A and B are shown apart, each in its own frame.
Chain A
Amino acid sequence: MTVLLSAQNIVKRYGGVIALSDGNLEVSSGEVVALVGANGSGKSTLSKIINGVVVLDGGQLLLDGVPVQFPSPQAARKMGIATVFQELSLIPQMSIAENIWLTREPLHPTGTVDQKEVTERTKRLLKLFEGTFKTELTPDVSVSSLQPDEKQIIEILKAISVDPRILILDEATASLDSRQVSRLFELVATWKLSGKAIIFVSHRMEEIFRIADTYSVLRNGKTVGSGKIKEVTEKELVNLMIEKASVFTHARQNRAGAKELAQKPVYLTVNALATDVLRGVNLQVRRGELLGLGGLMGQGQRELLRSIFGYIHYHGTINILGKDVHYRHPADAIKDRTAFVPGDRGKEGLLYIRSILENILLPSWKEFGVPTRMKKAHEVAVGVGESLNLKMAGLDEPVSSLSGGNAQKVVIGKWLKRKPQLLLLDDPTKGVDVGTKAEFYKLLANLCDEGKTIIFYSSDDEELVGLCDRILVMHDGNIRTELVDRMITKRNLVAASLGASEEEQHE
């Protein structure tokens, strides 16, 4: 195999911050290379240098052994490099077809857009993911009406539509469900056969081992290891990424079995909860329980958490510690010491341009009186920052200056101060680095030991299996399966998500 693209000793500085000091990557045609590293290790920067979004300060890029420079993304695209962006680059007001072919519309000889051809080609692309959408998509559907997973797929199709030689998948699987991921991986296999090179940026170990041929690990802007994926174990890879291997303890100790759980008092009861997505959900959570919500993406997990928090209108009853409640606004739920960590940090969890301090204290300003006791507020925020090991330049810096993992700590931090009794978590580890994840798992375990009740939705099956006392698998707005005790295995969870009937006791 010949090396298609090689990045050597790449250096990139942003002002005084060194994002990359020695970034290296090599990929051959017909090969998938996994670019791994914790958040802030420089993998986004490296992929942005390869696709021309940022210009490098040092080192060189070789394409087919020839030094190249990409002053713009268009230049990189002309050389056959396409990227699936983590942050979606689609224009919501435009249709699927318009988005995919934007600036590259097939034209009639007269210079007008060949609408028939556009539709035809878009249909062909959509066929690649046929059967994995919740509703069938057509080329004229507006992107604004799509679910996050569907948008991500359109993003993938847009990248592949230019028939690139090198495809960069930057966290492209983060919002996809397992069926969609499998389909993507099947497609990757065919793209490999046709000689494409693929750079796969991901936090998900399991996927890396499923799809990659080689790996390259970044830590603090330096490439610290690379090689064949067959010759490395998950643990070794993680060690390379975070140095301290010991924090990676997925499994939570002293989990409660069904018998122990039954002795604890019921904290929350939900009866016949219905919204336009949910179809009469019943569930019960006990004090100190960590209840997992599983299943394919978009089966109503999000709506369930949001109705309990009073954010969306619902029918049915919700009962907390024997008292019926009907929240009309999240403020009511917050008063009853319920906390909610939403699934989309940027859009729902943070005020990006405001300071870290303000984000942490957002739900709590009233407690500091009028005039606001700023000194006290500052102390509280410092306390929250320390308890979460928040890495920041200062409390007055905007949240936008934080890495993904640290930003998520802020979202969680704003509730911790309020000592919530019930935590509703909507996929809280999405796009978070391994180190922060480990800290987060420990936090969850501690909260449960303190008697807090947690309902935890995750798109990462391993997390659910490793952490939860009990898992409810949702399908089509209802709870399909309950997994307890030794039934909690990855195999069972996946099987239940997909609706397969066979369930085994052991793995």
Chain B
Amino acid sequence: MKKLRISPPAAALILAVTLFLLSGLLPNGFGSDMSIARAQATNIVRLAVFLGVIAAGQTLVIISGSEGIDLSAGSVVTLTAILAYVMIKGNDSMVLPAIGVVILVGALIGLVNGIGITYLKISPFVMTLGMAGVVKGLIIILNHGNVSGKVAPIMTSIIARPVVFGIPGAILIWVVFGLFMWFLLERTPFGRNLFAIGVNRITSTLSGIHVPRMNLATYSLAGALAGIGGFLLVGNTGVVFISLGDPYLFPSIAAVAVGGTLLSGGKGSYWGTMSGAIVLTLITSLLTTMQMPESVRRMVLGGTLLMLISIYGRQRALRQ
């Protein structure tokens, strides 16, 4: 007796496609016009890229277990976006150095998170929440005299515009990014050990894994990835403001959960997070198209999240 088992990422993707097709039936939907449908779909995926990249670091810390979470991701995104903006000043040649700086700054903030969690035994929730506050403070200091800067033309043309076959550069970047994340999780000792410490840290230590080092590396990497997220985001918006990254924080956690990664750690995938980011972006944009008020949008988003996670929970119970 073989049971059909749909993995959570696939389930999320199927949900996204179904919702999208249904949305065509709406009064102001794409109807039977395939070119509009294609443009809408592309746009939604393009918007999902930023949430998806910001949620990459979140995926890693959540997989690492022991209540791993990064609540400083939103602030790090804002900070690195501002840094990139200020450094580049519309100058294409400053793009590469800026990428280096945002990665470094993000990694440094992540490292401090990791040190607090690993050695001072502060819970990840509290540590990263505190860090979010500290980074916020830094942003205000930086922003005090009103930052002046500009994104480089090359960023806008690559990130925000179509590059080949009408596919926006952001999506291509995301695909490469997704491959990198898959490689990291599935084909490196770091990835294998990350799942291991997420399930059981005693077993991991007794099998020779340096758990504290892994923890530091994971939080640093998460910070660096949030930094890249900030860079991409500013390339898309072209402007910076003090709460630029904030709206991405909770969706980044939700995307990880919707993608089937266990919030308790030890199991999950980045392609799940990618599906999760697409679902969440799709629902938000559909509700906006339907001109739903903010209150309804929030309720529907929250409800979807609860529904999906309860379904995953049931699947697990059935398998035991």
Using CB atoms and an 8 Å cutoff, list the residues of chain A in contact with chain B.
Answer: 15-16, 309, 311, 329-331, 334, 340, 342, 347-354, 358, 361-363, 365-366, 368, 370-372, 374, 400, 414
Contacts and interface: CB of A to CB of B under 8 A. Distances in A.
Given A16-B1, A329-B210, A347-B202, A354 B188 contact: no
Nearest to A17: B1
Contacts of B206: 309, 311, 330, 340, 342, 348-349
Nearest to A348: B202
B188 to A, nearest CB: 5
A384 to B, nearest CB: 14
B192 interface: yes
A78 B44 CA distance: 58
A358 B189 contact: no
Interface stretch (B31-39, B85-93, B193-201, B253-261): B193-201
B146 interface: no
A370 B199 contact: no
A366 B208 CA distance: 11
Interface of B: 1, 3, 183, 186-189, 192-193, 195-196, 199-200, 202-210, 262, 266-267, 320
Q: Which of A16, A331, A400 has the most CB of B within 10 A?
A: A331
Contacts of A362: 192, 196, 203-204, 207, 209
A424 to B, nearest CB: 11
A363 B207 contact: yes
Nearest to B320: A400
A16 to B, nearest CB: 4
Contacts of A349: 203, 206
Contacts of A368: 189
B183 A371 contact: yes
B281 to A, nearest CB: 29
A348 B209 contact: no
A16, A334, A372 interface centre (most CB from chain B within 10 Å): A372
A370 B200 contact: no
A90 B206 CA distance: 26
B22 to A, nearest CB: 34
Given A365-B193, A374-B187, A354 B199 contact: yes
18 contacts: A15-B1, A329-B210, A330-B205, A331-B210, A334-B208, A340-B206, A348-B206, A349-B203, A349-B206, A353-B266, A358-B196, A362-B192, A362-B204, A363-B209, A365-B193, A370-B188, A371-B183, A372-B192
A349 B199 CA distance: 11
Contact of B209 (A15, A331, A347, A350): A331
B235 to A, nearest CB: 30
B187 A371 contact: yes
Contacts of A347: 200, 202-203
B273 to A, nearest CB: 19
A309 B187 CA distance: 29
Given A349-B206, A362-B196, A370-B188, A354 B183 contact: no
A370 B196 CA distance: 18
B265 to A, nearest CB: 10
A371 B188 contact: yes
A372 B187 contact: yes
B199 A352 contact: yes
A414 B205 CA distance: 14
Given A354-B267, A362-B209, 10 more contacts: A15-B1, A331-B209, A340-B206, A348-B202, A348-B206, A351-B195, A358-B192, A368-B189, A372-B189, A414-B207
Contacts of A353: 199, 262, 266-267
A303 to B, nearest CB: 14
A331 B209 CA distance: 7
Given A331-B209, A334-B208, A365 B192 contact: yes
8 shortest interchain CB distances as A-B pairs: A371-B187, A365-B189, A331-B208, A351-B199, A334-B208, A16-B1, A363-B207, A362-B207
B318 to A, nearest CB: 9
Contacts of B320: 400
- Which of B188, B193, B203 is most buried by chain A, counting CB atoms within 10 A of its CB? B203
A309 B208 CA distance: 10
Contacts of A342: 206
Contacts of A348: 200, 202-203, 206
Contacts of B209: 331, 362-363
A85 to B, nearest CB: 17
Contacts of A358: 192, 195-196
Nearest to B192: A365
B189 A370 contact: yes
A401 to B, nearest CB: 9
A366 B203 contact: no
